[in-house]
Structure 1
Amino acid sequence: MASNVDRMAHLPSGVGVCTTIPDILYLPELIIGGLVWILVACTYVEIANPLGWVMCVSVFCFAMTFIWLMVFACGSHYNSGGWATADFIYHFIATVFYLSASVELAFVTLALRYGTTDKGVKDYKLCISAVVFSFTATFLYFVHTILSAIRWKSF
């Protein structure tokens, strides 16, 4: 009988990406990261480009996570330790980027809390939603980083 370490050391391909841990987290990362991207794009902020970093991180992580998912789904990784290392490094970088973007987004949202017009209240509510989803995406990437590190160490 195979142990958990043996199962964690195997890099999945095909439909196995949607059934193994930590790779099952790709889909929520894509959905929630896309929501952050959409919500930030829907807001209008008068401060000179404060959310540029947030948009850069959310678009970059969305695109890279999709590409990473396709690499694993197509079986292009050849089940080697180098791909496990790259998976860990990518998710660590994404976690750090999303954490910095989430903090900046929360700071900008605090500055918007005193919107007096209906548009200001609407933007504030959109920003609050974006902050919640941004910190949720940060948490998902953090969990994926930890699980990827465990898989990397088991190779």
Structure 2
Amino acid sequence: MDVKTVAAAIALAAVTSGCQFSASTLVNQHATLPTVDRIGSATQPKSTSAPVDIESTLESLSYLEARALLLEEGWSPVVSKTCNEDVVGSYELQCVAKKISSWCHLCAELPELQTCTSNGLCAMQFSLPGTAKKISIATYGDIETWRASPEKTDLMIQGAKLTEGN
């Protein structure tokens, strides 16, 4: 796992548990990193630096990396009941009757997928069970490359937004 992915995992664990930690912790190789247990609670090293911004942290990763970290930290996909229609259009015609769209499988593979446009912009959403926290992620690129390695994927994060509440 590279340093960027480790830093993102630590940042996500801190947000998941409601803690904050400093960016200097991630930059300084000799700093004491927060200790994160499997439940998601973190102990905080003392620092005077600004807290890490989880949105920026996720935006530095490919979608595959960010998705893996969110799922690993206990976040759940927010399933859209209208995903098939919002992604494919006429799902019944294109996927059931004629099987002509290559996007027919996307809502099943990516339950967090909310919608996509034909020019490659997609919206994803996750929630943290037991809390009011949600993360909305905007991606761009070829959605069909979401499983490819970070070096080969074309699906990147354009923006991420953490909210607390409905």
Fold match, TM over 0.5?
no
Higher helix share: 1
Task: With the length of structure 2 as denominator, give the TM-score of the two structures.
Answer: 0.26
Higher strand share: 2
Task: With the length of structure 1 as denominator, give the TM-score of the two structures.
Answer: 0.27
Between 1 and 2, higher relative CO (CA 8 Å, sep ≥ 6) is seen in: 1
